[in-house]
Amino acid sequence: MTYQDFLHKKQVSVQSAGFDIDICELNKNLFEWQAKIVRWALKKGRCALFEECGLGKTIQQLAWADAICRNEGGCVLILAPLAVSEQTKREGAHFGIEVTICESAADVRAGINITNYEKLEKFDTSAFIGVVLDESSILKNSMGRVKRQIIEAFKFTKYKLACSATPAPNDYAELGSHTEFLGIMSQAEMLATYFTHDGGNTSKWRLKGHAQEKFWEWISEWAFVLDNPAAFGINAKDYILPPLNVIEKIAETENCIKDNQMMMFAPEVQTLSERREARSASLEDRVKIACDIANQSKEQWLIWCDYNIESEKLKKGIPDAVEVKGADTPEHKTNAMIGFSDGNIRVLISKPSICGFGMNWQNCHNMIFVGIADSFERYYQAIRRCHRFGQREQVNVYIIISEGEMNIKDNVNQKQSDASEFVSKTTKYSIAKIESETESTVRITEEYKTKQKVEVPLWIA
């Protein structure tokens, strides 16, 4: 064995587990570039779509599920965040694809079914030939109960599709969670193959020097990454995002004390307790600034907060606002989010963890963060509810924080830079992979009829 043969043997590849299909057999509402992606995903059978918000992941996952139902028979289940089920059903009807919203296994019908992640335990997952995870970043928590439940529930499901705009490039372990769900390799195996611990910090992973290019290539074996259809070489004039105006508002903090000493300037917060103290000290001023901004306008506003006390005070300060809290009933949450989509609610107040995923709110172009946390994913997803392809207005984002919390915003900005690097490195491999794996394949539909009897040699038999 030569050294080149040895290296080739060590290279990790992902085998296709789906079927080939002509693009003309897919839903006619797909753009050509979307149809290419769906065809690739069907050929893979088990894969992920990491596409920018507004690129039509809903129609793609519906077309993927519809093709499986038509070619294989059986049922496909879509798991989605709260209120996204109704939105997906609406879009399905627009595209001529029937979607059944299910509360439990008793509601399941032949074809495409959709439910919320919270209701998964009410279903017999062995009854489905395929599954779609809408906003698959729910797999983020490497030790989470929901992650383990999803992976185990669909361990033997033939077709799997994971869809997310934020595959947490700053958290490589989440990519491992996706590969584990898709049945490609375990999270531990992925980390051991491509990564090493960064110094003595066992929670930090760094790509091995010789594995960097191979890692990006390997991702393209099972995930398609896209931030703009222009990567296909088409005129993407309809995919130019409007300007994003980020306006910082610094809230005043009275009686800033550290180690029993009065401080002239607010020190940067470091620990969790210091962050809570800083948020508490600037609470009244942050809420007042947010209320003044929203009350001076007649347009729709999304207001994001992290604590119930902030949400309650915002609701009191904005008379026509609707508040959505974690303790609210699923019916109230759904009605509020759909009401905001339809324009019946002017101001919606909630946490990014509750309403920040899955909804398409191009009808709104104003939002306020009454404070900011370290989670880049929640910050990014919250902004993308409005700042997404299809938005026609400039999007105004107000960030209201205390002076001592500026380092938190800097941390989020660094994660944004990491995300951009992830997309730029993987998109070129994704496009090349689609061209090589689908464009060279022609589906043979002519039936073969043998004219001569073939005898099987005894040594084979």
User: Is CATH 3.40.50.300 the classification given to domain 10-238?
Assistant: yes
Strands (E), 52-156: 75-80, 99-101, 111-116, 128-134
pLDDT score of 252: 73
Query: How would residue 267 be classed by pLDDT, with cut points 50, 70 and 90?
Result: low
pLDDT band at 139, cuts 50/70/90?
confident
Instruction: Provide φ and ψ at 350, rounded to 5°.
Output: -165, 180
User: Model confidence over 67-89: pLDDT tens digits?
Assistant: 999 999 899 999 999 889 999 99
Which of 22-26, 221-225, 266-270 bottoms out in mean pLDDT, i.e. has the lowest? Answer: 266-270
Domains 10-238 and 244-414 share a fold: yes
> Domain spans of the chain?
10-238, 244-414
Question: What is the residue whose two structure tokens read 């794996």?
Answer: 437
pLDDT for res 368: 97
165 near 51, Cβ under 8 Å? yes
Residue 87 phi, psi (nearest 5): -65, -40
What whole-number distance in Å separates Cα of residue 23 and Cα of residue 34?
10
Beta pairing partners, 159: 130
In angstroms, rounded to a whole number, what is the distance separating the alpha carbons of residues 16 and 19?
8
Alpha-carbon separation of residue 381 from 16, 116, 372 (angstroms): 31, 18, 13
Whether 392 shows a pLDDT value over 80: the answer reads: yes
pLDDT at 442 over 50: no
13 — pLDDT class (breaks 50, 70, 90):
low
Question: For the chain, how big is the Rg over CA atoms in Å?
Answer: 24
The pLDDT > 90 percentage for the chain reads 54
For the domain made up of 244-414, the CATH class stated in words is alpha beta
